[in-house]
């Protein structure tokens, strides 16, 4: 009986410690992130501008360690003008099964993470930002749009380069990203 109690106490301590570390890590704002793309501070303050409510509440956001998802297209375009990178906007919703599947399978993939270094990443929750989703033709079907997940690639001048709708595996999305970066795809 004592062994079971000791094991339980140890597990509670380990789990509590790991959750605290995770929260500290997610609350940290990277020092090298320019102010125009620093949406981590907004997320921690609850001003999440479209990231899922679950993310804002528990700080276990859908940000993978290597990815920085912004929530403001205008800031992303400013950064694109400075860096020369393309902007990739992921229009999604918490209730969307293919969106959740991409979050679980596609975005954590190392090949996607590596390719994403060539883009400014933005995530727009269509339930919270319908006006923005409509403006960029990224809204869900239930709101009269094309459907989600809906990914728009554009340059610093807001020129659409490519627009894809539906679930994409990491390999498929990386291929699309390659075509955008190399300019081998024409809308």
User: What are 150-169's pLDDT values in tens digits?
Assistant: 999 999 899 999 999 999 99
Does the pLDDT value for residue 112 go beyond 80?
A: yes
Does the pLDDT value for residue 40 go beyond 90?
A: no
Q: Read off the pLDDT band of 17 (50, 70, 90).
A: very low
22 part of a folded domain:
no
10 part of a folded domain:
no
pLDDT value of residue 151: 97
50: domain CATH number is 3.40.30.10
Number of structural domains (the chain) is 1
For the whole model, what pTM was predicted? 0.65
25 part of a folded domain:
no
Cβ neighbour number for residue 93 with a 10 Å cutoff: 20
Distance CA 18, CA 117 (A): 28
pLDDT value of residue 144: 87
pLDDT digits (tens, 9 = 90+) for 47-94: 333 333 333 333 333 444 568 999 999 999 999 999 999 999 999 999
For residue 171, what are the domain limits?
32-182
CA 129, 134, 136, 137: dihedral to nearest 10 degrees? Answer: 130
5 part of a folded domain:
no
């Amino acid at each position: 009986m004592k062994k079971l109690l000791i094991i339980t106490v140890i597990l509670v301590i380990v789990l509590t410690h790991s959750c605290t570390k995770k929260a500290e890590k997610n609350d940290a704002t990277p020092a090298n992130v320019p102010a125009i793309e620093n949406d981590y501070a907004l997320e921690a303050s609850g001003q999440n501008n479209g990231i899922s409510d679950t993310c804002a509440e528990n700080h276990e956001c859908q940000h993978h360690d290597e990815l920085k998802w912004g929530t403001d297209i205008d800031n992303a375009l400013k950064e694109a003008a400075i860096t020369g990178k393309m902007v990739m906007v992921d229009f999604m919703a918490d209730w969307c099964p293919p969106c959740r599947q991409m979050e679980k399978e596609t975005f954590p993939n190392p090949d996607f993470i590596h390719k994403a270094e060539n883009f400014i990443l933005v995530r727009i929750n269509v339930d919270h930002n319908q006006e923005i989703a409509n403006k960029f033709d990224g809204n869900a079907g239930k709101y009269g749009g094309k459907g989600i997940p809906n990914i728009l690639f554009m340059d610093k001048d807001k020129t659409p380069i490519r627009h894809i709708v539906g679930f994409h595996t990491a390999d498929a999305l990386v291929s699309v990203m390659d075509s955008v970066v190399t300019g081998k795809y024409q809308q």
